[in-house]
Structure formats: C-alpha cells, structure tokens
C-alpha cells in the first residue's frame, strides 16, 4: 500500500474539516441514514477525494460525512466499497487507511447480512464476535509497508473485547435485543446456495455477507480497535422457501433503523 496516496487523500480532507474524528463508522446497505444523526456536518463526496474509490451499489450514497454525535467527533462512510464491484482489495480498504491517517482510533463497521443461525429472525441486530474470511483473498497481500503495520497481523481478537462490552451495555440501555455471532464473508455478488449455507453453518457461521472482513483486516493491521454490528436483513438461502433479493435487504434495514440508530448513537456516546 502506497503511503503517499493515503497522505494525499488525508491532506485533501484535513483542509476541509475542523475537528479530528475519533470514531470511524462504515455504514452498510440501507444503514446510511445514520448520517442524519450527525450534527455540524461536513460532507465530502468520494469522487472529489484524490485516489478514493467510488461506490456503485444502490442504497450506498458515496460520501464521507464528518461531524458530531453526542458531542463526539466522527466520520461516517455513507456507502461502502465492495470487492464485487470490481475494485481490488487495496481499493476496497483504502477508506480505512484514510480514516487512520485522519486520526481515527476506533472503527465501527456495520452491514446487512443473511442469517445463517436458524434462531435469528430478519430484523435482528447482531454483535459480531469473530469472523471467517471466506473470500479467498486478503487486502494485506503484497509487499508490507512497516510504517502502516506488521507483516503478520494477530487476529486473535479482531473485534475488541472492551468495545463489545460497551455495545452490550448500550443495547441494554436503549432496550435493543442484541444477538451475537460469527460473520462469514463471501465475495458475492450472487447470494449463496442452500448447500453453501449448510456448510457455513457447520463451519460455525451465524451470519453471511459480502463485506466487512477485509476492512477489519486492514483496521487491525493499522492498529485500530474494531466494533462490528450486523443487521440480519433476511434469512440466508434455503432456510425459508423464498428467493433472496436486494429489495428485501433494504426493506428490513429500514424497518429496524430506529433500533439501529439508537444503538449506534448510544455506543458512540459511551465511547466519547
Ligand atoms: N448473503 C450474503 N450477503 C448478504 C445477504 C445474504 O443472504 N443478505 C445481505 N447481505
């Protein structure tokens, strides 16, 4: 990863913002509405930022939103970059590098995911306790820049234990039932087959999705503390006798948005 590219994007952004963000938020499909909760907004569209990739998926807006939630300085990625859009893993995770460059030390990743655990229901929120990288690749492949992180990154605790406690307490306070489980990442863009979902369940997955783990690998490489929350937008293939589609994913995330918003806002307040 080229440090100059990161610095170039970083200095472009620093000229436009007043406060150094402490928390970075990556908002998943249908979850971009969280930016409405950000006060004193400064919006920077991805396409204006040097070296920044642009998001092409419906339900993903494609801008960085800076500002405060409960007085805590944050930056939100409204619209994430997916590997299935054709970007390489380095581009997909470039925004995480830039967040680190801007001074972020906690990354909150959110996503819409299919429920693999049959005790889950669409609309459930799930604290990510661990993940399985089933994408067959890694954003850390290639020459390592020691200024950015270690060659061999420890992944024993990818999702910070203290932050998970904060999320559990926040969920109690705002009265949100928070499931917990392992997120398994595939590349997509096709949804999985029922046989794949049975395999993933056997492997220990509770939810499946097409994002997040590459960002988390880079975040850990950059020594950011990570918290992850999935919105179970549908039951994964083969569990219910119905086809999967992106509209259902968006509909479900919109149905639970007030719970999602109050949970994330409370987490940010506690971290502030
Ligand atoms: N599979 C993969 N990714 C997803 C799903 C799913 O069922 N739902 C939302 N993102």
Q: Is 111 within any annotated ligand binding site?
A: no
- With the most atoms of ligand 1 within 8 angstroms of its CB, the residue from 82, 122, 208 to mutate is 208
Per-residue pLDDT, 214: 98
Q: Is 55 within any annotated ligand binding site?
A: no
**Percentage with pLDDT > 90 across the chain:** 86
Residue with tokens 């419906």, as numbered in its chain: 58
Q: Is 221 within any annotated ligand binding site?
A: no
The residues pairing with 178 across neighbouring beta strands, listed in sequence order, are 125
Q: How confident is the model at residue 194 (pLDDT cuts 50, 70, 90)?
A: very high
Other beta carbons within 10 angstroms of residue 150's beta carbon come to 12
Nearest to 27 by CA among 1, 55, 53, 49: 55
Tell me the C-alpha to C-alpha distance, in Å, between residue 26 and each of 32, 44, 55, 140, 234. Answer: 9, 15, 13, 19, 20
Q: pTM, whole model, 2 decimals?
A: 0.95
Per-residue pLDDT, 55: 65
Quote the ligand 1 centre to 108 CA distance (angstroms): 19
Residue with tokens 């992180």, as numbered in its chain: 149
Q: How confident is the model at residue 30 (pLDDT cuts 50, 70, 90)?
A: confident
The token pair that represents 226 in the structure block: 């990570």
Per-residue pLDDT, 106: 98
Which protein residue's CA is at the shortest distance from atom 3 of ligand 1?
A: 209
Other beta carbons within 10 angstroms of residue 173's beta carbon come to 14
Q: How confident is the model at residue 57 (pLDDT cuts 50, 70, 90)?
A: low
Q: How many domains are contained in the chain?
A: 1
Q: How confident is the model at residue 61 (pLDDT cuts 50, 70, 90)?
A: low
Residues 27-44 have a mean pLDDT of 91
Quote the ligand 1 centre to 208 CA distance (angstroms): 6
Answer yes or no: is the C-beta of 113 below 6 A from any ligand 1 atom. Answer: yes
Phi/psi at 198 (5° precision): -60, -40
Active site residues: 29, 60, 82, 84-85, 112, 210-211, 234, 246
Per-residue pLDDT, 56: 66
- Among 195-204, 212-221, 243-252, the least confident range: 243-252
Answer yes or no: is the C-beta of 53 below 6 A from any ligand 1 atom. Answer: no
Answer yes or no: is the C-beta of 239 below 6 A from any ligand 1 atom. Answer: no
Domain carrying residue 31: 3-271
Q: Which letter does DSSP use for residue 259 in this model?
A: H
Answer yes or no: is the C-beta of 209 below 6 A from any ligand 1 atom. Answer: yes
3-state secondary structure of 102: helix
Quote the ligand 1 centre to 259 CA distance (angstroms): 20
Residue with tokens 């939810």, as numbered in its chain: 207
Per-residue pLDDT, 83: 96
Per-residue pLDDT, 250: 87
Residue with tokens 């988390």, as numbered in its chain: 216
36 pLDDT higher than 80: yes
Residues 146-151 have a mean pLDDT of 96
- With the most atoms of ligand 1 within 8 angstroms of its CB, the residue from 190, 198, 233, 247 to mutate is 233
Which protein residue's CA is at the shortest distance from atom 6 of ligand 1?
A: 114
- Provide the CATH number for the domain around residue 201: 3.40.50.1580
pLDDT digits (tens, 9 = 90+) for 255-264: 898 999 999 9
Tell me the C-alpha to C-alpha distance, in Å, between residue 17 and each of 10, 42, 79, 151, 186. Answer: 11, 7, 20, 32, 35
Where helices occur in the chain by DSSP H, the ranges are 3-14, 89-92, 94-102, 161-173, 194-203, 213-221, 246-255, 257-271
Per-residue pLDDT, 259: 94
Q: Is 81 within any annotated ligand binding site?
A: yes
Q: Give CA–CA dist 109/179, Å, rounded.
A: 16
Which protein residue's CA is at the shortest distance from atom 7 of ligand 1?
A: 114
Residue with tokens 């925004």, as numbered in its chain: 95
Taking the CA atoms of 86, 138, 225 and 8 in sequence, report the sign of the dihedral they define.
Answer: negative
pLDDT digits (tens, 9 = 90+) for 71-129: 999 999 998 899 999 999 999 999 999 999 999 999 999 999 999 999 999 999 999 99
Higher-confidence residue: 31 or 153? 153
């Amino acid at each position: 990863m080229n440090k100059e590219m990161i610095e170039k994007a970083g200095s472009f952004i620093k000229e436009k913002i007043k406060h150094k963000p402490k928390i970075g938020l990556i908002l998943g499909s249908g979850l971009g509405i969280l930016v409405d909760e950000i006060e004193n907004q400064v919006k920077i569209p991805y396409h204006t930022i040097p070296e920044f990739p642009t998001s092409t998926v419906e339900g993903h807006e494609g801008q960085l939103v800076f500002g405060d939630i409960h007085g805590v300085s944050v930056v939100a990625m409204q619209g994430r970059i997916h590997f299935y859009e054709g970007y390489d893993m380095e581009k997909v995770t470039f925004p995480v590098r830039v967040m680190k460059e801007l001074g972020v030390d906690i990354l909150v990743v959110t996503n819409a995911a299919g429920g693999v655990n049959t005790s889950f229901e669409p609309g459930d929120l799930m604290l990510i306790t661990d993940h399985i990288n089933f994408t067959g690749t890694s954003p850390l492949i290639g020459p390592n820049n020691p200024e950015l992180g270690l060659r061999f990154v420890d992944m024993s605790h990818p999702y910070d234990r203290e932050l998970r406690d904060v999320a559990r307490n926040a969920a109690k306070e705002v009265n949100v039932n928070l499931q917990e489980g392992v997120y398994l990442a595939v590349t997509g863009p096709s949804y999985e087959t029922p046989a794949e979902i049975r395999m993933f369940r056997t492997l220990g997955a509770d939810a499946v999705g097409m994002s997040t783990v590459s960002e988390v690998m880079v975040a850990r490489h950059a020594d950011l503390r990570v918290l992850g929350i999935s919105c179970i937008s549908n039951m994964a293939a083969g569990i219910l006798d119905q086809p999967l589609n992106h509209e259902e994913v968006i509909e479900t995330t919109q149905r639970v948005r007030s719970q999602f918003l109050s949970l994330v806002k409370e987490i940010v307040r506690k971290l502030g």
